[in-house]
Amino acid sequence: MYVVIVGGGKVGTYLTRRLLKEGKEVLLIERDRSQYKSLHDQFGDAVMWGDGCEASTQSEAGFQRADVVAAVTGEDEDNLIVCQMAKNEFGVSRTVARVNDPTHTWLFQKLGVTATVSATDVLYSLIEQEILLGKVIPLAAVKLGNMEVVEASLTSRSACIGRRVRDLNLPKKTNIVWLMRGDEGTTVDGDTEFQAGDLIVALVPVEAEAEFRSLL
């Protein structure tokens, strides 16, 4: 798999390190000369100096054979245009963009960017969840299928304490996939009985999250 990353800030650097560690073929494009130099010391030829928004750079970087192009600069306009050029000029089927202003997410998706990641959105929902209930935290939004991975800590006041999973009447398509009790992690089945102090991880449809929350 060949991944091209545009933007060598913190996000791009971390992504590159991680993908290289996993043995993927990666190319990181950075526009700023001095930042490029410091990245080159770290990653060698996996870094290229150039403007990732320009077709000549994109062509040199091999966009045409890239499986994924990820645009993760701090500027939404740059990330959008990189993804649109990748898709329309080079036929890249999977484009991923960092979206800094969450109101832009709609436009990115409308224009065919495969996946968008907005730290602001994630942080906002974390804060909102913390304030509203303090017990269910969304870990990740799985865009396909509109599912969310959520984590919940059960306390002695939780409504489900002493009850079994099969008696909970979970919302449709909801799956409690993991339970941490003390230091032990286990899978969950219908007979699992909840105790105070349990930590559970569940896959929940976005629209059923409130209902799921009310059961805990």
Partner 1 sequence: MRILVFGCGRTGAALARGMARRGHDVTVVERDPSNLQRLGHDHNCATIVGDGLDEAVLEQAGVENADAFVACTRGDNTNLMAAQLAQIRYKVPKVCVKVNDPQRSHTFTKLGMFCITPNLLTAGMMRDWLLEQEFLPVAEYNKLENGD
Tell me which residues touch partner 1 (CB under 8 A): 53-56, 75-78, 80-81, 84-85, 88-89, 101, 103-104, 106-107, 110-111
- Give the nearest distance from C-beta 112 to partner 1 in angstroms: 10
- Give the nearest distance from C-beta 27 to partner 1 in angstroms: 20
Q: Between 114 and 192, whose beta carbon lies closer to partner 1?
A: 114
Dist. CA 134–CA 199, nearest whole Å: 13
Instruction: Give the strand order in the sheet containing 2-6.
Output: 47-49, 25-30, 2-6, 68-71, 94-98, 115-117
Q: Between 89 and 128, whose beta carbon lies closer to partner 1?
A: 89
How many Å from the N-terminal Cα to the C-terminal Cα in the chain?
42
Answer whether 33's CB lies under 8 Å from 99's CB: no
Distances (CA, A) of 190 to 166, 174, 175, 197: 5, 13, 11, 19
Q: Between 25 and 54, whose beta carbon lies closer to partner 1?
A: 54
Q: Between 119 and 139, whose beta carbon lies closer to partner 1?
A: 119
